[in-house]
Structure formats: structure tokens, C-alpha cells
């Protein structure tokens, strides 16, 4: 699967005011009932590429592997709000360029070393300087241990996404003693709720964990043992559910939901990702046609989003014409009716743009999503746009997209919190702006979002969203329903902030 995520656990948090922001509320372990169930068995369709946070740390559908063995500096609750975790307090300076974190003093790594400021700084630097998918989110940031349990993060300019980043992959803390250990990629050392049992596991297939007896928050751990099995194919996932081989599983294919529910399973869901076209070449350097705003608008009018949702997701999801999520301060429901399905209007726009006979658009395809690509080509052909597909090989899809080798591409991306989304898809340096396209109006909105007051930033986010919809930077089809099933013995609080549930969201039914 070629879907790439900017971050993993995503919460729509309001743009932070950049003066004295603080959070608090130490997470104090409850000394009451610590009764646990014996076993929680889950399945995932992807395995971690490495447990070393400098190489493979990722969230999204890989998050349970990392969340089991590592703590993050901050945590998100079921409403997507930032809460204390390894860091119990946090505060910005007046201009938002320095964040001071106060660490709890009772956390230890499973090798017996303390989780102190020196270890946190080392982990942050390892992530920033490594090759993990979100390493660039910490670029330019400097980290210092003020004392044993105080960390300062200094950045060139205010980053409204920083607190959220510290609650996901960039905030993972690994034991520095394991950095130079060649086995750290497959035998991690952290301070998390579980300890990886390498001897009882098969890397890439089955991962077994046992509860950490010295975990600082024992009541957060509801099971003595955790198993995560990697099942890549939807039919095999369905069979594992029906056979009772797991207590919970991500539903790979939403069309199987009726059969899953008929088998007595409970399905919970959220909507984090959108699928659609990314219209990269807005300056027309490779494709003059895509550089024309009327052509991009015509492409938006060409797609029957309701039909695509039904054909590709069995109706599980919500059509949309904007990349900002419903939880964003910039989301506007009215923007989802900007274009609509209007083939005749699309042809008129193409004619006005100087292409009355249409044109040919070079795109990539891959066999894994052939139905999607066939429907995209069909609907574009209906308005006069002929798609010329090239298959670069599934493993090269993203590489060729970001080279950039094509003026546009179909993609599935996570709808991140506002500033992360901007820096992932919109800013001139964004990963998914491979042509480095900039627009003075967009730059002005971004500056206000980053440096303005909370009220100014909120309005600028609304204005930015409306502007890029009108300029047709993208042609989203729908938000995809992410679905997770649990058996009759398992409770699940499926948080709205990540593609895979938090391991802290599972608990046994009494």
C-alpha cells in the first residue's frame, strides 16, 4: 500500500496562542485496582521497519508496536486533547520559540536507567537527525537538558504543531544505552507499558510483549500479555476475526464490514484520511494545463464523488472537496459544495482555458489500486482529458511522485492538525508540494497562522482553506472511514486522532 502519513496520531488542536502556553496535570498512577486480563491479541496489516526511533519510528498503523515499548513525552486523550505523560508540565516563552518541559521523576527504562532530561534530549536528537518518516518535523530545533528533569526545545520560529508532535513519533523516548546496539532495530529498550519478547516473536509476522513490572503508570496497563500479528491481506484478516484468533483488528477492506458485524464483532470508526488527486504542477513547469486554475477547477468538476465513494469504499466515508479535516478551525462545510459533479461545466472551463478539445495528462498507476485508476481515467475522459498512465512499480510510486516526475497524482493522505497539514502539503518546502510551488497570498496566510494571535491565526486558517479550494490545489474525493473491530470480550475507545487505536484504549469486559 502506498499511502504515506505525515504523522500518526493526529488531533485537531486549535492553533496555539504563542504566549505562555502551558499544560499540566501530572498523571498520577492510581494505587487502586490493578487487576488485568491475561491476553490481548491484535492484528495489523503493516509491521515496523525498525524499532530504532532514528530509523523506523512511525505512528498511524504502526503505532501499537511503538506505543507498547516506548513512552511519548506527551499523550492525547479520547477527545484528542494534549495531556501530561513523561512530561508533566510545559510552557512556552513569549514568542513561542522556546518550549520548556518538566519531566516526571519516576520513570525508568527497562535496562534500569532513569528517563531523565539527558535521555530525552538524546532521543529527540536521534529522531531529528535520523531517517524516520517524520524526522523533518524536528528540523532546526535544538534540545538542551536544563537540569535532571527539565528540557528546553528552542526553534527558529514558533511551531504551532510542536505539542502534537511530542505526543506521537517525534516524542518517542528510547534508552540511549541502546543507540549503538545493532539489535535495537529488533529488540527495543524503552520505558513503555510492555517489554518486547524477542525470543517468542517472529519479526515481520508475530510480535509478543509482556507487561512492564516497573511501569510508572500501572493502571494504564490492562493486560499481562500483548500479541500483535501482522496480517496483510483482507481475506486473511476476515478469517482471523471469524476464527477468534484475535481480539481486535483493523478492517483493511470496508466492504467486509457487514460480514464482520454479522459474526458478532463490534466495529468502531473514524475518518482521518482523504483520497483524491494532488494537482502539484500549479506553475505549469511540466504541464502547462495543470498550471491553469480553470483546468484544475475542471478536474474537480469531473469527479462524481458519491459514485467513487460507493464504488471504492462501499459508501463507508464522506465526500469532501477540502483537505482540511472537519476538526480543523479552518473547515467549512460549504466548501464541500464548491464544484460538485458537473461534466458539462468542466468541459466549458477547459474550453475557456484554451483546451476545447481537451488534452493528455500523464499520471502514474499501480496494479494494487487498478480499479481506482480505471475510474479516475474514465471520469477524466468524460470531460475530454485523456490519461496516459505509466506504472513505475509499486515500490517507486511515492519516489517518482516526489521526484517530481509527474504533474499530478492520485494519493491517500492523512488530514493532519492545521500547522502539520500546512507543512506537509501546502508550504513551499512541504513534502507533498514537490515542485516547491509558492503563492504570495498563501505565504501571507501561513505567516499569520504561525505568528499572529490565536484569533488572527484561526481566521487565516479559514481563509487559507477557502483560497486553496478556490484555486483547486487539490481534487479530494472523500474522507475514508477507518474501521476497527473488537470481539465480545473487549472494550475499545477508538480515539479520533490516529488510524490505529491506542493500546491504552483497549480493556477487558468484566
For the domain 37-265+487-508, what is the CATH code?
3.40.190.10
pLDDT-derived band at 8 (thresholds 50, 70, 90) equals: very low
Write out the H or E segment, with its range, that includes residue 212.
none
pLDDT-derived band at 29 (thresholds 50, 70, 90) equals: very low
Beta-carbon count within 10 A of 83 CB: 16
pLDDT-derived band at 414 (thresholds 50, 70, 90) equals: confident
| Mean pLDDT, rounded, for 268-297 | 96
Average pLDDT of the residues of the chain = 91
DSSP conformation letters of 472-507: TSEEEEEEEEEEEEE-TTEEE---TT-SS--GGGEE
Give the pLDDT of residue 25.
Answer: 38
Give the pLDDT of residue 34.
Answer: 54
Instruction: Say which residue the cell 480493556 belongs to.
Output: 507
Tell me how far apart the alpha carbons of residues 192 and 215 are, in angstroms, rounded to a whole number. 7
pTM, two decimals, is: 0.81
For residue 375, the Cα-to-chain-centroid distance in whole angstroms is 26
Beta-carbon count within 10 A of 75 CB: 24
Strands 385-390 and 223-230: unpaired
- pLDDT, tens digit, for every residue of 211-221? 999 999 999 99
Give the SS3 label for residue 56.
coil
239 contacts: CB under 8 Å, gap ≥ 6: none
DSSP annotation of 352 reads H
Instruction: Say which residue the cell 496566510 belongs to.
Output: 445
Domain limits, CATH 3.40.190.10, in the chain: 37-265+487-508
Query: Is residue 31 over pLDDT 80?
Result: no
Domain limits, CATH 3.10.105.10, in the chain: 273-481
- pLDDT, tens digit, for every residue of 449-485? 999 999 999 999 999 999 999 999 999 999 999 999 9
Cβ atoms of 256 and 275 closer than 8 Å: no
Nearest C-alpha neighbor of 160 from the set 450, 448, 446: 450
Tell me how far apart the alpha carbons of residues 153 and 342 are, in angstroms, rounded to a whole number. 50
DSSP conformation letters of 293-305: HHHHHHHHHH--H
CATH topology of domain 273-481: Dipeptide-binding Protein; domain 3 (3.10.105)
pLDDT-derived band at 3 (thresholds 50, 70, 90) equals: very low
3-state helix vs strand vs coil in the chain, percent to 5 = 30, 25, 45
Give the pLDDT of residue 78.
Answer: 80
Task: At 198, list the grid cell.
Answer: 524477542
Tell me how far apart the alpha carbons of residues 275 and 288 are, in angstroms, rounded to a whole number. 24
Q: 21-30, 196-205, 280-289, 332-341 — which is least confidently predicted?
A: 21-30
Nearest C-alpha neighbor of 283 from the set 465, 436, 429: 436
Cβ atoms of 163 and 110 closer than 8 Å: no
Query: Is residue 408 over pLDDT 60?
Result: yes
Q: Determine what percent of the chain is predicted with pLDDT higher than 90.
A: 81
φ, ψ for residue 287 (rounded to 5)? -130, 100
* Beta-ladder partners of 137: none
pLDDT-derived band at 343 (thresholds 50, 70, 90) equals: very high
| Mean pLDDT, rounded, for 389-407 | 92
Q: 15-29, 55-69, 289-303 — which is least confidently predicted?
A: 15-29
Amino acid at each position: 500500500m502506498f499511502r504515506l502519513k505525515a504523522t500518526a496520531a493526529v488531533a485537531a488542536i486549535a492553533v496555539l496562542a504563542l504566549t505562555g502556553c502551558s499544560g499540566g496535570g501530572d498523571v498520577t498512577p492510581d494505587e487502586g485496582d490493578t487487576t488485568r486480563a491475561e491476553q490481548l491479541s491484535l492484528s495489523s496489516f503493516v509491521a515496523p521497519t525498525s524499532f530504532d526511533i532514528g530509523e523506523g519510528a512511525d505512528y498511524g498503523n504502526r503505532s501499537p508496536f511503538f506505543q507498547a515499548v516506548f513512552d511519548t513525552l506527551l499523550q492525547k486523550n479520547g477527545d484528542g486533547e494534549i495531556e501530561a505523560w513523561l512530561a508533566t508540565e510545559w510552557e512556552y516563552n513569549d514568542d513561542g520559540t522556546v518550549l520548556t518541559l518538566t519531566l516526571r521523576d519516576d520513570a525508568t527504562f527497562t535496562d534500569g536507567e532513569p528517563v531523565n532530561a539527558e535521555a530525552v534530549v538524546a532521543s529527540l536528537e536521534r529522531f531529528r537527525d535520523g531517517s524516520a518518516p517524520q524526522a523533518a518535523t524536528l528540523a532546526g530545533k535544538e534540545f538542551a537538558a536544563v537540569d535532571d528533569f527539565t528540557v528546553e526545545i528552542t526553534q527558529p520560529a514558533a511551531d504551532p504543531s510542536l505539542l502534537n508532535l511530542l505526543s506521537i513519533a517525534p516524542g518517542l523516548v528510547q534508552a540511549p544505552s541502546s543507540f549503538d546496539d545493532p539489535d535495537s532495530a529488533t529488540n527495543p529498550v524503552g520505558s513503555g507499558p510492555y517489554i518486547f519478547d524477542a525470543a517468542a516473536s517472529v519479526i515481520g509476522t508475530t510480535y509478543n510483549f509482556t507487561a512492564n513490572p516497573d511501569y510508572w503508570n500501572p493502571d494504564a496497563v490492562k493486560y499481562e500479555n500483548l500479541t500483535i500479528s501482522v496480517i496483510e491481506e483482507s481475506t486473511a484478516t476476515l478469517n482471523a476475526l471469524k476464527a477468534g484468533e484475535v481480539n481486535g483488528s483493523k478492517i483493511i477492506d470496508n466492504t467486509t464490514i457487514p460480514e464482520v458485524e454479522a459474526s458478532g464483532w463490534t466495529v468502531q470508526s473514524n475518518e482521518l484520511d482523504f483520497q483524491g488527486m494532488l494537482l502539484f504542477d500549479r506553475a505549469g513547469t511540466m504541464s502547462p494545463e495543470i498550471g491553469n486554475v480553470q483546468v484544475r477547477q475542471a478536474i474537480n468538476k469531473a469527479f462524481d464523488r458519491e459514485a467513487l465513494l460507493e464504488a471504492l469504499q462501499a459508501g463507508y466515508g464522506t465526500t469532501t472537496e477540502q483537505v482540511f479535516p472537519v476538526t480543523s478551525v479552518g473547515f467549512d462545510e460549504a466548501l464541500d459544495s464548491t464544484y460538485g459533479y458537473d461534466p458539462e461545466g468542466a468541459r466549458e472551463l477547459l474550453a475557456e482555458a484554451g483546451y476545447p478539445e481537451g488534452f493528455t495528462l500523464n499520471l502514474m498507476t499501480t496494479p494494487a489500486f487498478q480499479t481506482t485508476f480505471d475510474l479516475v481515467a474514465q471520469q477524466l475522459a468524460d470531460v475530454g482529458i485523456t490519461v496516459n498512465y505509466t506504472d513505475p512499480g509499486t515500490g517507486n510510486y511515492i519516489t517518482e511522485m516526489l521526484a517530481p516526475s509527474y504533474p499530478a497524482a492520485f494519493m491517500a493522505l492523512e488530514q493532519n492538525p492545521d500547522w502539520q497539514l500546512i507543512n506537509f502539503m501546502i508550504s513551499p518546502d512541504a513534502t507533498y508540494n514537490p515542485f516547491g510551488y509558492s503563492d504570495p497570498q498563501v505565504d501571507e496566510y501561513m505567516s499569520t497562522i504561525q505568528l499572529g494571535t490565536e484569533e488572527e491565526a484561526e481566521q487565516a486558517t479559514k481563509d487559507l482553506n477557502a483560497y486553496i479550494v478556490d484555486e483547486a490545489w487539490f481534487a479530494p474525493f472523500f474522507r475514508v472511514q477507518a474501521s476497527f473491530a473488537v470481539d465480545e470480550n473487549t472494550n475499545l475507545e477508538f480515539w479520533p486522532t490516529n488510524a490505529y487505536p491506542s493500546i491504552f484504549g483497549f480493556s477487558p469486559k468484566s
